[in-house]
Amino acid sequence: MRVAIATDHAGFVLKATVVEQVRALGHEPVDFGTWDEIPVDYPDVIAPAARAVAAGECDRAIVLGGSGTGEAIVANKIPGIRCVEASDPLVAHLGRFHNDCNALSMGGRIVGVEIAKACVTEFLTTGFEGGRHVARIAKISALEDGRTVN
């Protein structure tokens, strides 16, 4: 699996751990930057990573920042992206299992190394349950297309 990785300056330190964990799980990280702690506007690095997933160039994305919130918002603005913001492995698991999330956002100022590794593991190893959740994902896609769902 090809995994887009993107971070702003505030998530930069956590990025090395994420890249290492992606590789340890047998996947290929695709680095969208940033490559240092010089301040950068997070939409400039997060949007290209999310677009790579939406276009099918990468299978999933992991985006990082200070809190992970802004990064999740940016990723979720890209049609076809369902990004879960997780600071707990169970949330990362449920984002995949129930929501078929294709992007994970975490905050480098929020999660430590071990929690980040556990979140990445859950995100990359958990499948989508399907069933009743399929109709819900279809409604999310309808909203992206400007259609009403109820």
Q: What is the pLDDT of residue 148?
A: 84
pTM of the model: 0.96
Q: What is the pLDDT of residue 41?
A: 97
Paired strand residues for 61? 4, 103
CB atoms within 10 A of CB 23: 12
Q: Which residues are catalytic?
A: 71, 98
Nearest-angstrom CA–CA distance, 38 and 29: 22
Q: Which CATH number describes the domain made up of 2-144?
A: 3.40.1400.10
Q: What is the pLDDT of residue 58?
A: 98
Contact of 3 with 31, CB cutoff 8 Å: no
DSSP 79: T
Largest Cα span, the chain: 46
Which element (helix H / strand E) includes 140?
helix 132-144
CA nearest to 61, candidates 94, 28, 38: 28
Low-confidence ranges of the chain (pLDDT < 50): none
DSSP 93: H
Q: What is the pLDDT of residue 149?
A: 78
